[in-house]
Amino acid sequence: MVLSKMSSQSDVSVHSTFASRYVRESLPRYRMPETSIPKDAAFQIINDELMLDGRPRLNLASFVTTWMEPECDKLIMDSLNKNYVDMDEYPVTTELQNRCVNMIAHLFNAPLGESEAAVGVGTVGSSEAIMLAGLAFKRKWQNKRKALGLPTDNPNIVTGANVQVCWEKFARYFEVELKEVKLTEGYYVMDPEKAVEMVDENTICVAAILGSTLNGEFEDVKKLNDLLTEKNRATGWDTPIHVDAASGGFIAPFLWPELEWDFRLPLVKSINVSGHKYGLVYAGVGWAIWRSKDDLPDELIFHINYLGADQPTFTLNFSKGSSQIIAQYYQLIRLGHEGYRNVMENCHENAMFLREGLEKTGRFEIVSKEIGVPLVAFSLKDNSQHDEFQIAEMLRTYGWIVPAYTMPADAQHITVLRVVIREDFSRTLAERLVLDVSKVLHELDTLPVRLHGKVAVVEEEAAAAAVVVAAGEGGSGAVNGTFLKKTEIETQREIMIYWKNFVANKKKLKNNKNTIC
Ligand SMILES: Cc1ncc(COP(=O)(O)O)c(C=O)c1O
């Protein structure tokens, strides 16, 4: 977090339980302690606090890998102390990254000759890859405009309003206007026709997503390529396409190899993919791949020689760990095409199983597609009594982390829940989740009617007054002048529901841009 905030204003110490065997005094929470403590105590204190974090494998909010084989864990541990940037000292690690770049470029059908090397780089994730790809487009566009004596002060990029927040970051950090195609109810990806209409002479590229973060749907890159080719022909421009395949890049080639979305389409000049999503590596690796050398302007590549031989670098950061690159190489050779296909088929089947289970409740509208990232995004058919935020909150009590969020403009009135299916999400877990969702629905249904009535009224009231009513009455509430006894859990739920609605409304009002990954 950039702007840190204090989790506790009153308690400025970190207390420990079992660590009291080693230390008797509390540690200051927000100041570095004056003295050292034994290593066992430091371990125990941190370990105890971390127990309160969620359990990664039950975190169904994230695409990011939470399980790898113990053999790969060992390789990761053994390379934790290698700085990737010291390429002269660790030439084998550099060679492994180059092998990964080439394997992925071939997977994306880069037009490479038999012995031609692919153009690409390992990054910390798709966000960094997108910044690099965006910079390459911006620089190419500037160079071309300068050569023609045309102004270069107003570049823009065309995307759907469903883009991940990293595109907004790119636009703001690197001063490029983001022109977003708005969504509509029932259509939650970029419409290629509208996107091409928005393209003008200042458009550095159109970014299509292979696997929208919001509902997993693949955008129609082929149609975009065809329409843009026509527009380029008519105008004389050469607006290119970038594909943000953060999730889909490791899914489509194995499940739908015939789908044309990659370098088979001539206007696709660069592609990013997250190694740490369906590339099946823990957090910290992504890839940016260019179609050819011509698509990556030379002036963006820096050459350093103080670590040994001349080393080209094109990354935003300098130092970084080597483990994730090594882990990616492990997965690529360990699984091969066959292994990745098996994993993706399994994820897809589990997603279909979950989808059916949720449909059978009769309460949900499914907003994800069968072809796409293996996830299930769903909305309540009727959210007048209780909403998706309440379901997400109540699922937490069963240990599940399932996010609820509103869609971006112009579909911001639609709220969805999203369950991402990763390799480690088994059929048994899917069965369990369907059961728990049904229990949550039942619990919500059996809440006294007065609760829903009251929540609706409370929403109209000022926040502070309402909280006092909910908490201060200590377990009793009046309905039509009659006081009914509430159990403790009912009171807790009432407060929770109030706050969920309050926060949800604030969120809806404030900003509809999702920051989910
Ligand atoms: C479509 C898309 N693009 C980019 C990103 C950012 O990826 P990373 O977390 O690898 O930086 C995400 C993250 O979920 C995503 O879904």
- Per DSSP, the residues of 168-204 read HHHHHHTT-EEEEEPPBTTB-S--HHHHHHH--TTEE
pLDDT of residue 495: 60
Nearest partner of 238 among 281, 269, 283, 270, judged by Cα: 269
517 lines ligand 1 (CB under 6 A): yes
CA-63 nearest atom, ligand 1: 14
On whether the CB atoms of residues 218 and 237 are closer than 8 A, the answer is: no
Which residue, by CA, sits nearest to atom 14 of ligand 1? 517
For residue 436, cis peptide bond before it (omega within 30 degrees of 0): no
- From first to last of its 517 residues, what are the pLDDT tens digits of the chain? 567 777 666 677 787 767 777 777 788 999 999 999 999 989 999 998 999 888 898 899 999 999 999 999 999 999 999 999 888 889 999 999 999 999 999 999 999 998 899 999 999 999 999 999 999 999 999 999 999 999 999 999 999 999 999 999 999 999 999 999 999 999 999 999 999 999 999 999 999 999 999 999 999 999 999 999 999 999 999 999 999 999 999 999 999 999 999 999 999 999 999 999 999 999 999 999 999 999 999 999 988 776 566 677 899 999 999 999 999 999 999 999 999 999 999 999 999 999 999 999 999 999 999 999 999 999 999 988 889 999 999 999 999 999 999 999 999 999 999 999 999 999 999 999 999 999 999 999 987 653 444 444 444 444 444 443 333 333 334 334 333 445 555 555 666 666 666 655 655 554 555 557 6
Q: Burial letters for 77-103: b for 16+ Cβ neighbours within 10 Å, e otherwise?
A: eebeebebbbbeebeebbebbbbbbbb
Q: How far is the CA of 271 from the centre of ligand 1 (A)?
A: 12
The answer for residues whose C-beta is within 8 angstroms of residue 121's C-beta and 6 or more apart is 97, 101, 129, 132, 287, 288, 314, 315
- Cα–Cα dist 422/63, whole Å: 7
CA-125 nearest atom, ligand 1: 10
155 lines ligand 1 (CB under 6 A): no
Q: The tokens of 466 are what?
A: 């309402």
Query: What's the Rg (C-alpha) of the chain?
Result: 26
Domain segments of the chain as ranges:
13-53, 447-517
215 lines ligand 1 (CB under 6 A): no
Q: How far is the CA of 127 from the centre of ligand 1 (A)?
A: 6
pLDDT of residue 474: 37
pLDDT of residue 313: 84
What does pTM read for this prediction? 0.86
pLDDT of residue 172: 98
Ligand 1 pocket test, candidate residues 59, 65, 127, most atoms within 8 A of CB:
127
Which residue, by CA, sits nearest to atom 13 of ligand 1? 517
Q: How far is the CA of 212 from the centre of ligand 1 (A)?
A: 9
164 lines ligand 1 (CB under 6 A): yes
User: How many other CB atoms are found less than 10 A from the CB of residue 175?
Assistant: 11
CA-209 nearest atom, ligand 1: 1
On whether the CB atoms of residues 126 and 300 are closer than 8 A, the answer is: no
